Amino acid sequence: MSDHNAEFKIFQGGPLKVTGNFQIVDTRGKEIEIKGPVYLCRCGGSGNKPFCDGTHRTRKFSG
Amino acid sequence: MLKNLAIFFMNDPRNRQYTNGEITVFWKPAKCIHATTCFRELLEVFNPGRRPWVNMEGAPTRRIIEVVNKCPTQALTWKYNSELSQDEQASSRHEPVVKDEETPKTLAVSEEKFIPVRIQIMKNGPIVVEGEFRIIGPEDNELKTMRMTSFCRCGNSGSMPFCDGTHRKVDFKDQ
């Protein structure tokens, strides 16, 4: 457990980095065990959703 | 079938309506997908942390109509009071029931600090976040401190980084 509230950092054209104190639940409502920061896919193209796998670069995602 | 569904939405006891005398806004929680467009655009009127969560005095009628029209699911709709049916008029005269009102997140906002933030990955949809959290922009600038939002996951939102419901139009799929 981290001692500070969750922070969401937006990477331009890239993922969403989450740090701090959080829990994450998958599409089936099951909690995902996570240690440390996570990078969540924002471009829609990751092969490892909900996590980023670097695909945003090949898709030239700009959001 | 469609007719039955319409009746279900119409008769849902959680439905609420709010008026400023000129228009009435209808709230159907069963239809809400937490795109959070309403309170990101107009917190003065739509504030899930308040009861009742809709304050019709918070903005001019024109602005309320503009934001209600952006609701991607029609969980929020509106009518001119002069166009209300008799049943709707009867409900509009009543004060909103506050104690069991359901807000977009059915929330009981806690004042405690360091509540673990809950991140939910919606199937074929956004990242819905609840709790106390900060959003940091690409330049390390703090954008917002929020209690609830949904981030776009499909890559196509028109209001990045937030969800605007576009995932349904582009048929975004997890797999």
> Which residues have C-beta within 8 Å of that of residue B145, sequence separation ≥ 6?
B132, B133, B134, B135
| pLDDT at position B172 over 50 | yes
Task: For residue B138, list chain A residues with Cβ-Cβ distance below 8 A.
Answer: 10-12
Q: What is the pTM of this model?
A: 0.58
Indicate yes or no: CB of A41 within 8 angstroms of CB of B153.
Answer: yes
A7 Cα to chain B: minimum distance (Å): 5
Mean pLDDT of the residues in chain B: 82
Task: For residue B153, list chain A residues with Cβ-Cβ distance below 8 A.
Answer: 40-42, 44, 49-50
In the prediction, which pLDDT does B90 show? 77
Chain B contact residues (CB < 8 Å to A): 113-124, 127, 129, 131-138, 140, 143, 151-157, 160-161, 172, 174-175
**Selected residue with higher pLDDT from B107 and A31:** A31
Q: How far apart are CA A58 and CA A52, in angstroms?
A: 13
CA torsion B142→B69→B29→B135, rounded to 10°? -10
Percent of chain B clearing pLDDT 90 (strictly above) = 39
In the prediction, which pLDDT does B93 show? 57
Which domains does chain B possess? 2-93 (no CATH), 118-169 (3.40.5)
In the prediction, which pLDDT does A13 show? 96
Which domains does chain A possess? 7-58 (3.40.5)
B16 to A10, A51, B111, B160: CA distances (angstroms): 36, 38, 26, 30
Segment B75-123, tens digit of pLDDT? 999 999 999 888 888 776 554 545 556 666 544 444 444 567 889 998 8
> Which residues have C-beta within 8 Å of that of residue B129, sequence separation ≥ 6?
A6, A8, B117, B118, B119, B120, B146, B148, B149, B150, B151
From B123, B140, B160, residue closest to A27, measured CB to CB: B123
Percent of chain A clearing pLDDT 70 (strictly above) = 95
